[in-house]
Every structure is written in C-alpha cells, then in structure tokens.
C-alpha cells in the first residue's frame, strides 16, 4: 500500500501536508483497529456461548438419561445465551456508531407488527423554539417523523371502595332506599373478581406457584399468605365447575375431537405421599379449515390410564377421535364401530423415525422422514382452506405419496430382521394404516394431534406444585372422575 512517506517532498509546505496526511491515516487505522478489536471480542463471546449451547443440545439428545436436560431447562439456557449476545451487541454498538446505525435499521425492518386492539398514546416532542435560528421568523410545519414502540404500565394494585348511599323520605317515616350490594365471588372476602382471575391466570397460564405470587405481592407491601391465595383458587374453581361442565358438553357434540392424556401427581393422604394420576384432554380446533366453532380444550382427571377411563370420557361422543396409537382408543372404537372412528397421528410416527436416526439406523429412517415431510408440505399449502378443497388437494397430491410409502414400507419390512427396532416402527405404522390415512378422505381432519399436545404441554410445568390442588375424592364419592378443581381453571387458560 502506498503511503505519504514513499516520496518525501523537499519543501516545507509539501512536507507539512505529507505529515498531516500520515497523521490522518494513522487516526483512521486506529479507529479501524478499535472496530476490529470490538468485533473480535463480540465474535469470540458469541462463539463461546454458541459452543455452550451446542454442548447442551448434545447432552439433551445423546447424553445418558440421568444427565439429559429437561426441555424447559434448555429454554432457560437458550435465554441466558441470547441475553449475553444482546449484552455484547450493545457494547459493540456503543464502541462503533456505524454498527449501531446498521443494527438499528435491521431491528426496525425485522420487528413484528403491533396488535390493532392496543390503545395508542400520542406524545409530541416540539423543538425548544419555533423561531427560525437565522432570521427569528415563525417556523411552519412541513411534516413529521413518527415512531411506534410497545409500552407497558406496570401492575398496580388498588383498593376498590364501594359506596351505597341510603335515602329516606321526609314525609314517610321508616322508608329507606338503598341499592343492593353487588354479588361477590367470595362473600366477606378481600379480593375482587379481577384479583382472583389474576391469581388464576398467573398460576395456570403463566405457571407461577402461589408462594411466588405471595412473594410478589409482598414486594408491593401486600401481605397475603399462600394459604389464602389457595383458598381463593379453590373457591373460584368451585364457581367455574358449571362452565367446565358446559364446555365439556359442548365439545362432546362436535364431530371431531383431539384426545390425549398426561400424568399428574396426586396427593394420597392415606399413604402420606403422592401417586400418579392422569389428566385427559379433549380439544376442538377448527382453525386450519376455517371452522366457526370456537377453539377449546377441557381437562378431566382420572386415577389411571385404563381403557375404562377413555370409554367413560368419550361415552357421549360420536365422531372421529384424533389420537395416538394408545390401545384405550382402539378399544373404544371396537366397542362402538358405528359411532366412533380413529384418525391417528403422523407426528408420532415421525418421532419414532427420528429416534431411529439418532440411534444410527439412518437409511430407512432418513427416507421415511423425507417422505413424511412431503405430506406436511402439502398440508402447509392447504392450511386455512375449506374442507372440500383440502380433501381434493390431498386426493390429488398426498394420496399417491401415501400409497407409494405403503409399498415402500412393506418392501423394507421384508428386508429388515424382525427383532430390530426399525422393523417394530414399520409394523406400528402399517398396523395403524387405516387411522393414519383417514385424513385423506375428510378435509376436517388433521395430519397430527399437535393441537391437543400444545394444550397439555404446560401441565409439565405445573407438575412440581400441582399436588397442592389435585386431591383424591373420599371413598364415599364416585372414584372415577373427581372434582374438576384443577381441570376447570386449566381449561380456561390452556394454549391452543
């Protein structure tokens, strides 16, 4: 690179100019070195954090079962990494103004749109003076720049004081008129209905145990014991039971439901410990084909996972049950062949082949996953379209793929030793073939049961403290489906 020193001038003025050029060049190099050093620090920190993240992923996927991370722990680790990356980016932007301007544009282009239902508060920032800085004449408005940002009003507790004036007639002795007191959720209790609803949402939708909510209230100077909050929750659950029952009745009138179950710890007072119960979920979700019925999920507790529980749960239902391959649903369909049909889940099949690929059994598993991905590609294309259109596209595009996969699976089964896990997965798919292909002839059905699985996933977050609210009924009461205290609140807050 040629510099100002390559040809040293002889006269003083030219020498001075060369010196100034050299100094300017040195300053530019210094700035560039600082930029590169900051970028190097940023990239080094980012690499370290990403390497840490990859290590955690490997532990989750391939580590011994005793060392595998819980998916929620992995989410926390990911949050920590993303926060650290943001911290390094902020320091990087402070050191290099040009980088800050670049990232500002990127963030502005990538940020999500804000919901239209949010209220807007307008803040106008005027110049310090509206007089022209040159001639002191009055300035006139020629336009403006507007920026929309998401704001929040921090939670604010208040005391609601209700006054009910009394009125009397001067002419009529003993006549007193007063508005009746409004009904309260908890007569003589401290909380308003909004306060109780907030506790329920925090507990069941945001997974905040009551003792943590008690601590948060204490930071505001409000001393309410966990046991008091528990009383509010139980009281509200009792009021929600009719709504829970009505939701369940409504869902059972549908022609198609998603069904799944998951474990839940239950207090067992006689043994002084807990035992494993089950939360059964029925869900309705018609969004993918534009149905008009509202999306909803209802949970029902049962002490076990036996076939009789599934039969009782769906005894009033007639239609298609979208479910996994659990035998209880097969028993239900066999007992009521003219009323109940099963539509099985391709997502479960895909997981089985993913497990095979992790075990190194990749050729067949990889090909199966590729074929299943083609089914989902068609589903992405028809998502949101009317049922008849969905059926037509499936018949034209997915059905040939399904038929070809059936031939391919049978050929692979004849080649694979029967005792290998691959053969077991293939047999599972072929044994459930009628249920796995039912969606081809009905545009109302889905390829999988992801709707109900999303609904039951938060239960895992509540398991550590759910034992405080799921209690076994006494022996004098019906043992099969106990009080829906937990189920009532969870049904109103579960995501779908």
Q: For 174-181, what is the mean pLDDT?
A: 91
Higher pLDDT, 54 or 122: 122
Check pLDDT > 80 for residue 7: no
Check pLDDT > 50 for residue 38: yes
Residue 339 has a pLDDT of 95
Rounded-to-integer distance, Cα 429 and Cα 441, Å: 19
Residue 72 has a pLDDT of 53
Check pLDDT > 80 for residue 325: yes
Residue 96 has a pLDDT of 72
> Which range among 68-77, 217-226, 414-423 shows the weakest confidence by mean pLDDT?
68-77
For the chain, how far is it from start to end, CA to CA, in angstroms?
A: 63
Q: For 80-89, what is the mean pLDDT?
A: 64
Check pLDDT > 60 for residue 2: no
Higher pLDDT, 441 or 302: 441
Confidence of residue 428 (pLDDT cuts 50, 70, 90): very high
Percent pLDDT > 90 in the chain is: 40
Check pLDDT > 70 for residue 262: yes
Q: How many CB atoms lie within 10 A of CB 216?
A: 13
Residue 114 has a pLDDT of 78
Residue 407 has a pLDDT of 96
Confidence of residue 432 (pLDDT cuts 50, 70, 90): very high
Phi, psi at residue 177, to the nearest 5°? -120, 130
Check pLDDT > 80 for residue 482: no
Confidence of residue 430 (pLDDT cuts 50, 70, 90): very high
Residue 79 has a pLDDT of 59
Q: What does pTM read for this prediction?
A: 0.68
Q: For 60-67, what is the mean pLDDT?
A: 50
- The closest of 480, 479, 491, 471 to 309, measured between CA atoms, is 480
Residue 185 has a pLDDT of 86
Residue 478 has a pLDDT of 32
Residue 476 has a pLDDT of 34
Residue 474 has a pLDDT of 34
Residue 382 has a pLDDT of 94
Q: For 306-325, what is the mean pLDDT?
A: 93
Residue 376 has a pLDDT of 94
Helix, strand and coil in the chain, % to nearest 5? 55, 10, 35
Residue 361 has a pLDDT of 61
Residue 483 has a pLDDT of 39
Percent pLDDT > 70 in the chain is: 76
Residue 472 has a pLDDT of 40
Residue 73 has a pLDDT of 53
The pLDDT tens digits for 353-374 are 988 887 666 788 999 999 999 9
Which residues does 431 contact at the CB level (< 8 Å), separation at least 6? 325
Most confident listed range (22-26, 131-135, 390-394, 481-485): 390-394
Check pLDDT > 50 for residue 481: no
305 in Cβ contact with 278 (< 8 Å)? yes
Confidence of residue 12 (pLDDT cuts 50, 70, 90): confident
The pLDDT tens digits for 209-218 are 889 999 999 9
Higher pLDDT, 89 or 450: 450
The pLDDT tens digits for 100-140 are 777 677 666 666 677 888 899 999 999 999 999 899 999 99
How many angstroms separate the Cα of 408 from the Cα of each of 364, 421, 488?
10, 17, 46
Q: For 196-218, what is the mean pLDDT?
A: 89
Mean pLDDT, all residues of the chain: 81
Which residues does 136 contact at the CB level (< 8 Å), separation at least 6? none
Rounded-to-integer distance, Cα 263 and Cα 280, Å: 9
Residue 34 has a pLDDT of 77
Confidence of residue 97 (pLDDT cuts 50, 70, 90): confident
Rounded-to-integer distance, Cα 114 and Cα 402, Å: 41
Q: How many CB atoms lie within 10 A of CB 46?
A: 15
Check pLDDT > 60 for residue 333: yes
Angle (nearest 5°) at CA 157 between 151 and 163 = 125
Most confident listed range (44-48, 145-149, 179-183, 272-276): 179-183
Q: Helices 362-382 and 399-415 sit at what angle, rounded to 10 degrees?
A: 170
- The closest of 212, 142, 95 to 462, measured between CA atoms, is 212
Q: For 450-473, what is the mean pLDDT?
A: 63
The pLDDT tens digits for 373-386 are 999 999 999 999 99
3-state secondary structure of 9: coil
Confidence of residue 479 (pLDDT cuts 50, 70, 90): very low
Q: How many CB atoms lie within 10 A of CB 428?
A: 15
């Amino acid at each position: 690179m040629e510099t100002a020193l390559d040809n040293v001038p002889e006269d003083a003025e030219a020498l001075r100019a060369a010196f100034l050029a050299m100094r300017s060049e040195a300053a530019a190099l210094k700035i560039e070195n600082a930029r590169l050093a900051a970028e190097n620090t940023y990239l080094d920190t980012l690499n370290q954090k990403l390497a840490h993240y990859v290590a955690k992923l490997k532990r989750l996927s391939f580590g011994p079962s005793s060392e595998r991370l819980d998916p929620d722990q992995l989410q926390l680790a990911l949050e920590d990494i993303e926060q650290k990356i943001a911290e390094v980016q902020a320091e990087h932007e402070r050191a290099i103004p040009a980088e800050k301007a670049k990232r500002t544009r990127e963030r502005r282009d990538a940020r999500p749109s804000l919901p239209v239902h949010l209220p807007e508060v307008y803040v106008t920032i005027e110049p310090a003076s509206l007089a022209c800085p040159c001639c002191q004449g009055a300035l006139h408005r020629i336009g403006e720049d507007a920026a929309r940002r998401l704001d929040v009003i921090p939670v604010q507790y208040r005391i609601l004081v209700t006054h009910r004036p009394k009125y009397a007639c001067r002419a009529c002795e003993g006549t007193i008129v007063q508005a009746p007191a409004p009904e309260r959720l908890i007569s003589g209790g401290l909380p308003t209905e909004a306060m109780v609803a907030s506790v329920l949402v925090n507990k069941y939708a945001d997974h905040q145990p009551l003792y943590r909510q008690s601590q948060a209230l204490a930071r505001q100077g409000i001393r309410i014991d966990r046991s008091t909050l528990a009383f509010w929750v139980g009281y509200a659950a009792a009021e929600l039971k009719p709504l829970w029952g009505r939701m369940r009745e409504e869902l059972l009138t549908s022609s198609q439901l998603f069904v799944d179950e998951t474990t839940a710890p239950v207090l067992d007072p006689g043994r002084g410990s807990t035992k494993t119960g089950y939360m059964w979920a029925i869900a309705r979700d018609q969004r993918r084909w534009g149905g008009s019925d509202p999306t909803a999920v209802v949970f029902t507790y049962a002490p076990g996972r036996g076939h009789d529980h599934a039969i009782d749960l769906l005894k009033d239902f007639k239609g298609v049950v979208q479910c996994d391959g659990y035998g209880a649903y097969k028993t239900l369909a066999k007992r009521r062949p003219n009323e109940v049909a099963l539509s099985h889940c391709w997502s479960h099949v895909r997981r089985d082949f993913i497990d095979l690929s992790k075990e190194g059994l990749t050729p067949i598993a990889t090909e199966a996953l590729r074929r299943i991905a083609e089914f989902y590609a068609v589903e992405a294309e028809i998502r949101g379209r009317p049922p008849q259109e969905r059926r037509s596209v499936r018949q034209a595009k997915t059905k040939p793929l399904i038929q070809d996969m059936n031939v391919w699976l049978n050929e692979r089964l004849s080649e694979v030793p029967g005792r290998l896990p691959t053969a077991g997965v293939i047999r599972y798919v072929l044994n459930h073939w009628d249920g796995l292909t039912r969606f081809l002839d009905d545009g109302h059905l889905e390829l999988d049961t992801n709707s109900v699985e999303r609904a039951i996933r938060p239960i895992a977050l509540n398991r550590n403290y759910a034992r405080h609210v799921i209690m076994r009924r006494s022996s004098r009461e019906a043992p099969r489906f106990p009080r829906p205290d937990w189920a009532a609140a969870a049904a109103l807050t579960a995501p779908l």
